[in-house]
Amino acid sequence: MKITVVGAAGMAGSRIVAEARRRGHHVTAVLPGPRPDTLPPEVTDVRGDATDVELMTKLFDDADAVVGATRPAPGAEHTVTAVTAALLDASAAAKTRILFIGGSAPLLAPGGGLVFDAPEYVPPAWRTIAAASIAQLAACRPHTADWTYVSPAALFEPGVRTGQYRRGGTSLVVAPDGTSRISAEDLAVAVLDELEQPAEERHFSVGY
């Protein structure tokens, strides 16, 4: 496959690039700045602003699938909706499927209600970025683009690639002890599995 990853230098994006290359796919990495040393040499890199719909459309037109793995810098969470809308518009114009790496906040919590309102999963320090993920999914829902939204577990961080994960629907995936976590490496496994064999759900969760 030809896969374009927007936000390819981030925690999620860099692992998705690595997993895609591990499986032999051709990857184009869309970056806002210089090429990082960690990017595999065989990956094509392109400088571009994710809100540049014309440029994104051209890049997406040559892809079999797109991954939106952008994440706002602290203090810029308000930009999420505009970035998401631009990527959706470009995806629709190019008629190319796009998969967004979102957050856990829009999911249903084990005790009922949204994860956003469960302090055991979203402590106060995380609420701003968590709210941004709710806004991101809200921007996707009415759009005509062929989109999928992936919600990682509540604790999503660098780790090891085990190749194992559990896939849920619109509820948070939790372990028997109530914790909810996934490594960025295993999220990438789940993302590539979905790109290679798409399911019908537009919104699904991933965790251990």
Q: How many helices (H) and strands (E) does the chain have?
A: 5, 10
pLDDT value of residue 58: 97
pTM for the model stands at 0.96
Check: CB of residue 176 under 8 Å from CB of residue 126: no
Give the count of beta carbons closer than 10 Å to the beta carbon of residue 200: 6
pLDDT value of residue 32: 92
Check: CB of residue 153 under 8 Å from CB of residue 172: yes
Check: CB of residue 172 under 8 Å from CB of residue 112: no
Tell me whether strands 155-157 and 65-68 are parallel, antiparallel or unpaired.
unpaired
Which ranges of the chain have pLDDT less than 50?
A: none
For 97, the token pair is: 């499927």
Give the count of beta carbons closer than 10 Å to the beta carbon of residue 12: 25
pLDDT in tens, 78-93: 999 999 999 999 999 9
